[in-house]
Structure 1
């Protein structure tokens, strides 16, 4: 019983930041080093529900929902523009609302360009980066990006409509399962919640806007690389090697700008935590303990 009671509990909160009511999950000692978990598409902080307690014995773990995802609320009169610059501005304000002076970043998918913007804005705050299929290099973009890249080049209604199936329940379920050898390991809660939240009024169009704006991240890649070279943050890339969206070349490319970057490839797909949670935790804890501030 004592062992059971020692498992850290996760609490759930809202805080006002950048005119947004940001939902977040938190666990761990308030005076411990902070690990900030930034989720990706089409998910939310819910994807970290099992990772959080596995880190919270040693770290203060905080996982917000990005605007447009999960339970974060945008007031109707806010006039929010859904771009990655806006997401980063809101999350930066979120870190300031919680008085987070320093933090390690865990970035996945959309969380990567959001988190790398934070790091460029305040490099002194970031004591380490863990990138789990969080891309920053053109060679990391797999063939699965071709329909979205076509939309970047020619943002017509027709090219926008081609992307809509990815936002359906079946499209989201496919994203969770693609590249994963044993789909029976994928719990239905994640993709079911994502699909339900995706259908909120206006949210499909929000996601299509973010698909279009993802091109802004690719344009920023040289700036991300400059940040890596100049600030030299400790970086771990732990990657599902069968991910068709962000392929292993993107993980290995970090070592071009950060020769000391550590790269681990796991035999799974995009959502590596669904199948290889314990492996990620072991690799991540060893890395963070080496560099913790």
Structure 2
């Protein structure tokens, strides 16, 4: 029976660390870290994510600034808002919720955020720092994945890690973080030939392809550690829907450990966002005193 890696419990622990860090800042006479959350339009999933993030900020003492803009907001107006947030000393982190409406270029928007306030870790400067191992803010989901792995594996040195998915948000940064920890990394995707055979060699599988139950039991060798980043709504057979991941959970109980969906990577993503916001506030303080 595979060990369940409890993302909710780990997230609570990380949130407590962040809460203590925020309290220490306040005790030294500094303002609370500030996170600006920008939502354009009324995408239902985005509405839910933003509400989760706002509530999470309140739990740890981070001040949240919510900016809700209508669907037809011009790109230039959004850029003007970000420029204002970039120079606002009370804002330490800026998060623009994606997806954005079609008439707005997400690359332009994300690239306009001050890298020092880019708590999502998507700015090209932070991507470059990650790939060269020179610091910067690390994307929240990949950072959460590494923290989950650390609960079941003491040392990643020399282990075979297979990442399924090559997105800029998850797959590529996870590969960089695993390489930094001396794992041997293979990045694959839906079009990879012989994917089951490649996966069967893995000590670690990180599934982030957005393809429900893609990873079957016969893809997984005994004792592997599985991190499931995927989350998709599928019919439950009773007229409703339920959430499943990229891993066929019931087929992989011969693994050493696996994250559930939901309750695995998701809670860690938000906890790492809060942690990044505190880190950005600390970095700003250090830069001010340098």
Same fold (TM over 0.5): no
Structure showing greater Rg = 2
TM value normalised by structure 1: 0.30
Q: What TM-score, normalized by structure 2, do the two folds share? A: 0.30
More helix per residue: 1 or 2?
A: 1
